[in-house]
């Protein structure tokens, strides 16, 4: 059975050495997050993920969820107890405000826990994950009464949340949605319609499920400007706050999916269900974006989580499986064959995953830290810079970390040969589970368009300029450091490719928008390579410094430097191919008439 060890030590190195987490202790909640406290929290979270969630991953996949005839849904054996342990540990409210029962700690720590959770058991992690998205939307857009009614119970984990966007005929294009909301005399609304692909839409883990639902108020404009957000609890809430009468929303069926079997993906039927408007009428899409950005970052983290757990299990197998001899002569002459980790092609595969994981983890933490600054700083300029970063990086984190996360799960599975294809080994599940992260919360093609069409040009390209300036400043500052030369040279080349690609878009996409569309996915990955390369340069700087100061074991820091050089020599050069594709433009992409396909 596969196993999982949360990379606590690596996270602490990133937080303390690379990003100087302590520097931010002027921000609310950060003062409580001293290195010792952070270490203790992460160890506790790691234990939960390693000992409770991970052991349920394979069995959860095999058992799946079951919908009973009465519309209730049963989660796999052990999930309820695991959920109680998760909720009881206070993890749901880790970064939620204290007034609703949360611990008010930095969101950055929550992101770390998201990685651990989704690596240990992605299908499980989605139950609290969706709840956190729903809480975020209520926190920002809900009325005081709504917050008081729902948040404390969600923070303690007694109730969970969902996001209801997709309908059978519309996912990406929400302007087409048909679910209707008819005003009731008491100020509530009656909602009627069908929502599909609702993760955690129905289950047996919590006493109540709080659905956030996009619908169109009778008479509202067509398209996206007539969409409103509603909160629709599964059980109406009594005046004393307890769950009361059953609301008119039910699970019509659950989907048979490629993966995440242990998470119920529901068709939700709204038959005159009572709901309450969240935020302003017809501004529902805006309110939903709060959830969506948070969710997109979380999904990127899921991609990293699957990549990490798949890597760990591939390493264990590669050290254990004896097959063939090293090209340079037997390494385990006492055994019938060498462990396959001696083979360069196996190493190449493992190093590729590792070199991604460490940099991706840094990118996640860097971005999560910006989210904290954006939400908690009292300096408007600092907030703006952080928001710029968040806006720019959200599609990159979502798109690149899930595309690569999936590829890495596949590569890790490949290390097992035929055994990787057999379900009981668990590697197939990582591939099947990781696959959804490229699809949900905006398929990755949509992320790429969001980056190229919206985030990049916004405010005259301010966010991108800031990103490039930061890399340039870092490179200048460290230009004299010999140990960083193997990092700064390739990084500069990749930045050059990114600049050329950006310039090409500026010159060619305005007149011909198809040029932007045809370039989008390659641009997103080019940008991802540069961002990951920059992360490696920063990790290398901190590793060199830590080595000089005698912090940490030299072998571990040397391994970081070697892994970073692997990235710089073998992975970042891909920017050249990405640039070539981008500059090729849309002509051959759009050349065929549709009927010739």
Q: Which stretch binds a copy of itself (CB under 8 A): 108-116, 238-246, 383-391, 437-445?
A: 437-445
Near a copy of itself by CB under 8 A: residue from 218, 280, 379, 569: 569
Catalytic residue flag (residue 22): no
Binding mask 169-198 for a copy of itself (x = CB under 8 A): xxxxx--x-------------------xx-
Residue 247 Cβ vs a copy of itself, minimum distance, rounded to whole Å: 25
Max CA-CA distance within the chain?
Answer: 83
Q: What gap in Å lies between CA 313 and CA 152, rounded to an integer?
A: 38
193/211 Cα distance (integer angstroms): 14
Q: Which of 29, 152, 180, 164 is CA-nearest to residue 93?
A: 152
564 HSE (CA, 13 A, CB side): 30
Q: Least separation, in Å, of the C-beta of 12 and a copy of itself? A: 18
Q: Is 483 in the site for a copy of itself (CB under 8 A)?
A: no
Residue 520 interacts with a copy of itself (CB under 8 A)?
A: yes
Write down the least CB distance from residue 518 to a copy of itself, Å: 4
Residues numbered 340 to 369 that lie near a copy of itself (CB under 8 A) are: 341-351, 354
- Contact set for a copy of itself, span 382-411 (CB under 8 A): 406, 410
CA–CA distance, 477 with 455 (Å, rounded to integer): 28
Q: Does 448 bind a copy of itself (CB under 8 A)?
A: yes
**DSSP one-letter code for 176:** G
Q: Counting contacts by CB under 8 A, is residue 140 touching a copy of itself?
A: no
Q: What angle do CA 357, 87, 243 make, to 5 degrees?
A: 135
Q: How many CB atoms lie within 10 A of CB 457?
A: 17
What is the DSSP-derived secondary structure letter of residue 54?
A: G
Residue from 9, 242, 513, 548 binding a copy of itself (CB under 8 A): 513
Q: Which residue has the tokens 């319609």?
A: 193
246/319 with CB nearer a copy of itself: 319
Does 431 bind a copy of itself (CB under 8 A)? Our answer is yes
Q: Which one of residues 27, 360, 518, 527 is an interface residue with a copy of itself (CB under 8 A)?
A: 518
Give the residue among 494, 498, 301, 308 at the shortest CA–CA distance from 401: 301
Q: Are 270 and 191 in contact (CB under 8 A)?
A: yes
Task: State yes or no: residue 554 binds a copy of itself (CB under 8 A).
Answer: no
Query: What is the helix (H) or strand (E) element at residue 306, kind and residue range?
Result: helix 284-320
- Name every residue whose Cβ is closer than 8 Å to that of residue 43 and which is 6 or more positions away in sequence: 8
Q: Which stretch binds a copy of itself (CB under 8 A): 84-92, 107-115, 156-164, 510-518?
A: 510-518
Residues 248-307 that bind a copy of itself (CB under 8 A): 255-259
Establish if 64 lies at the interface with a copy of itself (CB under 8 A).
Answer: no
Nearer to a copy of itself, 169 or 246 (CB): 169
Which segment (28-36, 110-118, 179-187, 445-453) binds a copy of itself by CB under 8 A? 445-453
Q: At 48, list the tokens.
A: 């939960």
Kindly state the number of chain residues that form the binding site for a copy of itself, as judged by CB under 8 A: 94
508 forms part of the interface with a copy of itself (CB under 8 A):
no
Site for a copy of itself in 577-596 (CB under 8 A): 577, 580-581, 584, 586, 588-594, 596
List 422, 503, 548, 554, residue binding a copy of itself (CB under 8 A): 422
Which of 239, 336, 480, 550 touches a copy of itself (CB under 8 A)?
A: 336
Residue from 69, 441, 470, 595 carrying the catalytic annotation: 441
Calpha distance 49→8 (Å, rounded):
12
CB of 369 or CB of 516, closer to a copy of itself: 516
* H or E element, residue 231: strand 228-233
Please give the DSSP secondary-structure letter assigned to residue 322. B
Which two structure tokens, joined as six digits, stand for 384? 């703006």
How far apart are the C-alpha atoms of 193 and 172, rounded to whole Å? 18
The least distance separating a copy of itself from the CB of residue 165, rounded to whole angstroms, comes to 11
Contact partners, residue 22, CB within 8 Å, separation at least 6: 16, 34, 35
Q: Which residues are catalytic?
A: 441
């Amino acid at each position: 059975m596969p196993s999982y060890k949360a990379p606590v030590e690596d996270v602490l190195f990133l937080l303390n050495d690379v990003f100087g987490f302590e520097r931010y202790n002027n921000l609310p909640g950060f003062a409580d997050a001293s290195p010792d406290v952070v270490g203790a929290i992460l160890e506790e979270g790691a234990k939960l993920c390693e000992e409770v969630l991970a052991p349920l991953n394979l069995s959860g996949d095999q058992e799946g969820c079951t919908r009973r005839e009465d519309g209730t849904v049963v989660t796999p054996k052990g999930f309820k107890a695991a959920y109680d342990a998760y909720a009881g540990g206070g993890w749901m409210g880790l970064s939620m405000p204290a007034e609703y029962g949360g611990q008010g700690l930095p969101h950055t720590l929550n992101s770390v826990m998201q990685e651990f959770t989704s690596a240990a058991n992605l299908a499980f992690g989605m139950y609290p994950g969706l709840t956190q998205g729903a809480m975020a939307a209520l926190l920002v857009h809900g009325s005081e009464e709504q917050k008081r009614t729902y948040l404390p119970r969600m923070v303690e984990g007694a109730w969970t949340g969902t996001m209801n966007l997709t309908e059978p005929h519309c996912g990406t294009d929400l302007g087409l949605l048909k679910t209707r909301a008819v005003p009731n005399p008491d100020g509530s609304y009656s909602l009627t319609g069908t929502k599909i692909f609702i993760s955690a839409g129905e289950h047996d883990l919590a006493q109540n499920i709080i659905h956030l639902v996009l619908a169109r108020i009778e008479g509202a404009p067509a398209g996206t400007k007539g969409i409103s957000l509603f909160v629709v609890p599964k059980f109406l809430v009594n005046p004393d706050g307890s769950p009361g009468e059953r609301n008119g929303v039910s699970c019509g069926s659950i989907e048979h999916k490629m993966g995440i079997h242990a998470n119920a993906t529901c068709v939700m039927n709204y038959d005159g269900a009572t709901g309450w408007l969240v935020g302003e009428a017809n501004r529902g899409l805006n309110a939903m974006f709060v959830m969506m950005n948070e969710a997109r970052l979380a999904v990127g983290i899921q991609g990293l989580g699957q990549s990490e757990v798949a890597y760990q299990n591939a390493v264990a197998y590669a050290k254990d499986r004896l097959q063939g001899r090293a090209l340079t002569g037997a390494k385990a002459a006492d055994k019938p064959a060498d462990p396959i980790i001696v083979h360069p092609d196996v190493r190449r595969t493992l190093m590729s995953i590792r070199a991604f994981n460490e940099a991706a983890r840094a990118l996640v933490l860097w971005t999560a830290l910006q989210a904290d600054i954006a939400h908690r700083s009292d300096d408007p300029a600092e907030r703006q810079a952080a928001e710029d970063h968040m806006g720019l990086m959200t599609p990159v984190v979502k798109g690149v970390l899930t595309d690569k996360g999936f590829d890495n799960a596949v590569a890790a599975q490949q290390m097992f040969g035929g055994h990787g294809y057999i379900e009981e080994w668990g590697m197939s599940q990582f591939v099947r589970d990781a696959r959804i992260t490229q699809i949900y919360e905006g398929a990755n093609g949509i992320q790429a368009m969001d980056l190229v069409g919206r985030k990049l040009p916004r405010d005259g390209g301010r966010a991108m300029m800031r990103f490039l300036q930061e890399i340039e400043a870092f490179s200048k500052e460290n230009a004299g450091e010999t140990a960083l030369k193997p990092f700064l040279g390739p990084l500069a080349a990749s930045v050059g490719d990114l600049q050329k690609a950006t310039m090409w878009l500026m010159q060619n996409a305005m007149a011909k928008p198809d040029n932007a569309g045809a370039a989008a996915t390659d641009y997103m990955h080019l940008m991802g390579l540069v961002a990951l390369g920059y992360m490696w340069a920063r990790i290398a700087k901190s590793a060199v410094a830590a080595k000089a100061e005698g912090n940490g074991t030299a072998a571990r820091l040397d391994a970081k430097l070697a892994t970073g050089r692997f990235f710089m020599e073998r992975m970042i050069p891909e920017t050249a191919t990405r640039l070539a594709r981008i500059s090729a433009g849309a002509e051959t992409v759009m050349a065929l008439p549709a009927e010739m396909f």
